[in-house]
Amino acid sequence: MPMPTTRDFLHHLLLRLRRRVWWRETARGLLLAGALLCLLAPFYLLRGHAVPLWLGALVLLAGAAFALWQCRRRRPTLADAAMVADRHFGLKDTLASAHAFEVTQISGAFAALTIRQADLWVSGREEAASERLPGESWARVWLPTLVVLAAAVLVFVPGPAPEVRRLQEQQAQVREQTAALNTALKEEIEALAEQLPEDQTGLTRAELAEWLKELQRTPDLREAMRQYARLEQHLKSAADRLSQHDKQALLRESGLALEKDPRHRPLSQHLQHSAYQQAAAELRKMDPAGLDLAAPAEARQQLDALRSAAKRMAEPAKRAPKPGAGQSKGRATDAPRQDNLTQSLVNLDSATRRLDDALRQAPTKDQESLQSGQSQPQSGRDQPPGQPDDPQGAQQGAGQAMSDLERQLRQLERDQQLGRQLQQLRQALSQSQSGLGKNQERETPAQALARMLGQDGGRGQGQAGAGKGGREWGTGTAESRRLGRDPLPGTDKTLELRGRPGEGTSDRAIESSDSGVGFSSRMGEEQQRRYRQQAESFLRRDDIPAEVRDGVKTYFETIQQPVEPAPPAPDPAPAPAPPPAREQKPGRV
Amino acid sequence: MTPEEETAQQAAAEFRDTFQRLRAEISKFIVGQEALIHDVLTAAICGGHVLLEGVPGLGKTSLVHSLAQALDLNFRRIQFTPDLLPADIVGTQVLLEKNGQRSLEFQPGPVFCNVLLADEINRATPKTQSALLETMQELTVTVAGISHHLPPPFIVLATQNPIEHDGTYPLPEAQLDRFFFKLGIPVPTAEQWLTILDRTTTGTPPQLQAVATGADLLRLRQTARAVPAAREIQSWLVQTILATHPDAPEAPALVKKYVRHGASPRGAQALLGAARVRALLDGRTHVSREDVRGAALPALRHRLILSFEGEADGVQTDDLLRELWAL
């Protein structure tokens, strides 16, 4: 077996030293991690929280990083090993000097003697390499570490306080609910975006995409409510942009004017009920393109219906103020739309009139051509199209005017439909978010949204409860305003709203009805809706004591109780008390 | 073992042997004071000068005389007084008439010797004290523009009384720095007192024999200079000496507070030289930290200049050094 040299000895010792440093620094790292955890834990425990496991992992990581850094910083070298050995064995720097002389290659007899002396010592002390080195007291290094680690483990034992646990559960619930609700909302909005035509104005796909970006999953109930409130505002503003009350009012007026002519009752009904698609189809039946210009007399008879309809429809348009006149600043943007529709109605009227005139003049021309002996057979054809006395041009002009009106009616129908969808989504969102943060055993907010958009979406339109005769109100709210007359469901009566169309919008819609006893078949929507919103808002607040909320809830349930109609009496009897909503303004809601 | 190693081993053994013989010879006359003799011999071997500090009557002059006798060296003594002039030390040119012609001739002063005892050096004026500067450092004397070399070896052993300050001129820092060691002479123990009385008051005083020569001393010096010091040891030495400077970042708070100036590079040279001698005497052929520590007090105590706070608080440089070097 070869004699071990000083270098071998020092290498062996170096490994032991490094191992010792590694263990010692690991112990210190753990000690640091435990101490950090013990220092940080009170911040959680005193507030009733459980110490999170991630904090433990974090401080453990910090301790490991510290240990690694220290191991690297304190990594012993051969010179360190030599110094430790010299100190431990009392060699008075013999090994350190011998190693240094070898490394730096110091020549000289004395240096050689030192190296020889070191080798001699090493060869005579083979067991020295495995001798226990000073400072290797494991207990001194690890005992404090184990004590602190035990204390650090104990800080994980206490769980969260009941209040904190409830709050955490609520946050988790809100997080899940917002995630599900956001997914449902995204699906709805994306479906809405797919339906949007490319030329749609007032609402673009980019705008819908922006709305989607604002939806975030959050555990914070207030933040969730805020983001849904923002979305509601977006929906409302978009719906407001799409709603074109002035055009609807104008067309309703036109419908009323048409009502006088029995031939135009269907068209009148469609226009009054805002069924513009059907109105456009009805209008198409009177298409002047089908007129036989070769038989002017018959064509005129056929044209008479269109002529009459166009004239009646154009009457309100002609009465309407000119664009810009009497318009408030806020409605200035609607002026071109109204102008287009008005112009279309007037154009149709004038076009049909020109066609009628052309047809009326047509026989005279034939007779003249016969009398001239076929001298100018092409004279009628040479005239430029669009001239009043050119039946073909007039026919084309009338066709174009009708197409333009049809296009506007379809656009109006589309905007109306989109606005309804936005309102429906907004109402569904408004209803569904009330369940946020609550333990929904039966229905989550996302399910509520889906239900309201799917099955009971119609109730969100503010329509009357089915078959209740107006004794109860619907579950949704209606933001749409009505002008003109509305048919009363289940009756042959209509409800007329009196306002002043064409002079800007009003914040209030006044519904007038006949005063008298008994019950109206129409619910008192507006007042009741306001009451309901206030009640819901109040009942949703957490800072109100439960007993107070119950009291308010009971009150509103009491006043919502349907009152049975009084039995018919032969003689005038005192009328039963009307519902509270109607008591505010009898006869006016 | 190579021949060079054998030669080196023999030189080391001779070094120890000569040193022991010298110490034993001097100890015949000087009772006790083993450490003092050791340090004086160390300084002599390293070619350094020694400042001896002690009250009168402790054997300072006898020690120096004994050293010169043991080494068979030319010994001179100068009693420093306030009226002593530089020329009284280094020599001067005198007008001589030979064969009817007059010429100026250099008359060497007492400094031209091997062992010079500058007794009570702090009693001379600074001008006279500074006359020794060149002599101690360069081992030359320059008079009238002509340099005269001193015969090697040349050792100055100066003494000063620590308790008598009237009419004294403290040595300037530059001159203090030129002393290899500053040694204090302790008061002998009672037993040593009795021995001194026995040796000096009865019979014939002991006669010292020359056990070595000046050439031997120069050879010992060469042997000591050949002892290597590992780079780690030298670095540690430098770091520790730098720590005596209050401006150094590694200086401890005590040094920053009480020290105005730290040790100079001459201090490091003296320390390493003394450590080499100690290593050889310990039977080693390399310098260890222990050797450096052992020489720290005599080599550095006069090189640390205390600050006002240090002087006011009565801080001793020895205490500072013990704190700094963990002695």
Partner A, chain B 59-98, Cβ-Cβ below 8 Å: none
Q: Which residue of A has its CA nearest to B6?
A: A109
Of A92, A97, A109, the CB nearest to B7: A109
Please state, in angstroms and rounded to a whole number, the distance separating the CA atoms of residues A371 and B197. Answer: 182
The closest alpha carbon to A254, from A349, A155, A139, belongs to A349
CA pair distance A50, A430, nearest whole angstrom: 35
Q: What is the pLDDT of residues A323-342, one digit of tens each?
A: 554 444 444 444 444 467 88
β-strand B91-98 against A484-487: which pairing, if any? unpaired
Nearest CA in chain A to B230: A97
Sequence-distant (≥ 6) Cβ neighbours of residue B77 within 8 angstroms: B61, B64, B110, B116, B117, B119
> Which of A6, A87, A93, A101 to mutate to test binding with chain B, by most B CBs within 10 Å of its CB?
A93
The predicted pLDDT at position A489 comes to 55
Give yes or no for B13 touching A (CB within 8 A): no
Q: What proportion of chain A, given as a percentage, has pLDDT over 90?
A: 10
- Which of A49-53, A344-348, A548-552, B238-242 bottoms out in mean pLDDT, i.e. has the lowest? A548-552
Q: How far apart are CA A581 and CA B235, in angstroms?
A: 99
- Residue A538 DSSP code: H
* Choice between B302 and A243, residue whose per-residue pLDDT is larger: B302
What pTM was computed for the model?
A: 0.57
How many other CB atoms sit within 10 Å of the CB of residue B214?
19
Q: pLDDT tens, A198-207? A: 766 677 888 8
Q: How many angstroms separate the CA atoms of B217 and A142, rounded?
A: 57
Question: A99: nearest CA in chain B?
Answer: B230
- Which two tokens mark B149? 């070399």
User: What's CA B242's distance to the chain center, in Å?
Assistant: 23
- In this prediction, residue A312 carries a pLDDT of 86
Whether A97 sits inside 8 A of B230 (CB atoms) is yes
Taking CA–CA distances from A106, the nearest residue in chain B reads B228
Residue A521 has pLDDT above 90, yes or no: no
pLDDT at A507: 56
From the list B226, B229, B232, the residue facing A79 with the nearest CB is: B232
Q: What does the alpha-carbon distance between residue B70 and residue B59 come to, in Å, rounded to a whole number?
A: 16
- Whole-angstrom CA distances from A384 to A381, A387, A391, B221 are 8, 6, 11, 135
For A458-470, what is each residue's pLDDT tens digit? 443 444 334 344 4
Q: Does B288 touch chain A (CB under 8 A)?
A: yes
| DSSP structural state of residue A588 | B
Closest CA to A507 of A474, A481, A487, A537: A481
- How many Å lie between the alpha carbon of B289 and the closest alpha carbon of chain A? 7
- Report how far residue A82's alpha carbon sits from residue A133's, in angstroms, rounded to the nearest whole number: 12
Contact between B16 and B22 under an 8 Å Cβ cutoff? The reply is no
pLDDT at B223 over 90: yes
CB atoms within 10 A of CB A491: 10
Cβ B135 vs Cβ B156: under 8 Å:
yes
For residue A573, pLDDT over 50 is answered with: no
- Which of A564-578, B138-152, B161-175, B260-274 is predicted with the least confidence, judged by mean pLDDT? A564-578
CB contact under 8 A, B286 and A111: yes
Cβ contact, residue pair B8, A110, below 8 Å: yes
Mutate to test the interface with A, among B272, B276, B277, B285 (most CBs of A within 10 A): B285
What does pLDDT average to over chain B? 90
Q: Over the stretch A220-250, which tens digit does the pLDDT of each residue have? A: 888 888 888 888 888 888 888 777 777 888 8
pLDDT at B221 over 70: yes
* Beta carbons of A579 and A565 less than 8 angstroms apart: no
Task: Find tokens 């109402």 and name the residue.
Answer: A427
- For the cut 80, the answer to whether the pLDDT of residue B218 exceeds it is yes
Chain A residue numbers with beta carbons less than 8 Å from the beta carbon of B286 are: 93-94, 97-98, 101, 110-111, 114
CB A434, CB A536: distance < 8 Å: yes
Backbone dihedral region for residue B264 (phi beyond 0: left; psi -120 to 50: alpha; all else: beta): beta
Chain A and chain B share a number of CB contacts under 8 A equal to 79
What is the reported pLDDT for A525? 62
Edge-to-edge strand ranges of the sheet holding B115-119: B75-79, B115-119, B155-160, B50-53, B181-184
The yes-or-no verdict on residue A302 having pLDDT over 80 is no
Q: How confident is the model at residue A492 (pLDDT cuts 50, 70, 90)?
A: low
- Between CA B268 and CA B48 the distance in angstroms is 13
pLDDT at A585: 38
Bigger pLDDT: A82 or A527?
A82
Q: Do B8 and A114 touch (CB under 8 A)?
A: no
More confident residue, B129 or A468: B129
When pLDDT is averaged across residues B51-67 and rounded to a whole number, the result is: 87
Question: SS3 sequence, A443-479?
Answer: CCHHHHHHHHHHCCHHHHHCCCCCCCCCCCCCCCCCC
In which band, very low, low, confident or very high, does the pLDDT at B275 lie, cut at 50, 70 and 90?
Answer: very high
- Tell if the CB–CB gap between A111 and B228 is shorter than 8 Å: yes
pLDDT at A367: 53
Torsional class of A496: left (φ above 0), alpha (ψ -120 to 50), beta (otherwise): beta
Q: Which two tokens stand for residue B136?
A: 């101690």
The SS3 assignment for A497 reads strand
In the structure, what pLDDT confidence band is assigned to residue A374 with cuts at 50, 70 and 90? very low
Percent of chain B past pLDDT 90, that is, above it, reads 56
CA-angle at A190, arms to A185 and A195, nearest 5° = 130
Establish if B16 touches chain A: CB-CB under 8 angstroms.
Answer: no
**Nearest to B12, CA basis, from B291, B279, B294, B214:** B279
Q: List pLDDT tens digits, range A399-418.
A: 888 888 888 888 888 888 88
Interchain proximity B286–A94, CB inside 8 Å: yes
Q: How does residue A366 score in pLDDT terms, banded at 50, 70 and 90?
A: low
Question: Which residues does A377 contact at the CB level (< 8 Å), separation at least 6?
Answer: A369
Facing residue for B8 by CB, picked from A94, A98, A113: A113
DSSP element (H, E) containing B78: strand B75-79
* CA nearest neighbour of A85 among A7, A1, A137, A2: A7
Q: Do the Cβ atoms of A114 and B1 come within 8 Å?
A: no
Q: State the burial class of residue A166 (Cβ atoms within 10 Å of its Cβ: 0-12, 13-18, 19+).
A: exposed
Average pLDDT over residues A347-358: 85
| Cβ separation B2–A111 shorter than 8 A | no
Whether B5 has its CB under 8 Å from any CB of chain A: the answer is: yes
| B300 CB-contact burial (10 Å; exposed 0-12 / middle 13-18 / buried 19+) | buried
| Confidence check: pLDDT of A442 > 70 | no
pLDDT at A333: 45
Q: What is the mean pLDDT of residues A177-184?
A: 86
**Residue B227, Cβ neighbours under 10 Å: how many?**
27
CA B300 to chain centre: 12
Alpha carbon distance B116, B109 (integer Å):
11
Task: Look up residue A355 and give its two tokens.
Answer: 């066609």
Q: Determine the pLDDT at residue A518.
A: 59
Which residues on chain B are in Cβ contact (under 8 Å) with A86? 288
B287 touches chain A (CB under 8 A): yes
Q: Which residues contact A291 (CB under 8 A, 6 or more apart)?
A: A299, A302, A303, A355, A359, A395
Subunit contact B2:A112, Cβ cutoff 8 A: yes
Q: Is it the case that residue A576 has pLDDT exceeding 50?
A: no
Is the CB of B228 less than 8 angstroms away from the CB of A106?
yes
Contact in structure between A170 and A224 (CB atoms under 8 Å): no
Chain B from 145 to 174: CB within 8 A of any A CB: none
Closest of A483, A453, A450, A94 to residue A316, by C-alpha: A483
Predicted complex ipTM:
0.85
- Report the candidate in B310, B186, B290 with the shortest Cα–Cα distance to residue B244: B310
Q: Which residues of B touch A120 (CB under 8 A)?
A: none
Mean pLDDT of chain A: 75
Nearest CA in chain A to B12: A110
The pLDDT, as a whole number, for residue B277 is 95
pLDDT class of A379 with cuts at 50, 70, 90: very low
- How many helices (H) and strands (E) in chain B? 14, 11
Beta strand pairing call for B115-119 and B155-160: parallel
SS3 for A507? Answer: coil
The answer to whether the CB of A129 falls within 8 A of the CB of A9 is yes
The pLDDT value given to residue A405: 86
CA distance A252 to A271: 6
How many alpha carbons fall within 13 Å on the CB side of residue A124? 7
To the nearest whole Å, the CA of A125 is away from the closest chain B CA by 19
pLDDT tens column, A54-103: 999 999 999 999 999 999 999 999 988 898 888 888 888 999 999 998 88
- On the CB side of A54, CA atoms within 13 Å amount to 0
Residue A512 per-residue DSSP state: B
Partner-chain residue, chosen from A79, A83, A114, that has the shortest CB–CB distance to B286: A114
Task: Give the tokens for residue B92.
Answer: 């001067």
Dihedral pair phi/psi, residue B305, rounded to 5°: -100, 120
| Closest C-alpha among B42, B120, B36 to residue B281 | B42
Task: Choose the closest CB to B226 out of A93, A96, A108.
Answer: A108
Helix residue ranges per DSSP H, A196-220: 205-214
Cα separations (Å) of A404 from A265, A283, A408, A410? 22, 12, 6, 10
Q: Taking each helix axis from N to C terminus, what angle separates A276-284 and A391-432, rounded to the nearest 10 degrees?
A: 160
Alpha carbon A214 to its chain's center: 7
pLDDT for A465 equals 38
Residue A556 to residue A579: CA distance in whole angstroms: 12
Give A269-283 as a DSSP string.
HHHHTT-HHHHHHHH
Higher-confidence position of A125 and A109: A109
Query: If DSSP states are collapsed to H, E and C, what string results for A63-98?
Result: HHHHHHHHHHHCCCCHHHHHHHHHHHHCCCCHHHHH
Q: What is the pLDDT of residues A138-173, one digit of tens each?
A: 788 889 999 999 999 999 988 888 888 888 888 888
Is the confidence at residue B287, as pLDDT, over 90? yes
- Our CA-based measurement puts residue B127 at a distance from the nearest CA of chain A, in whole angstroms, of 44
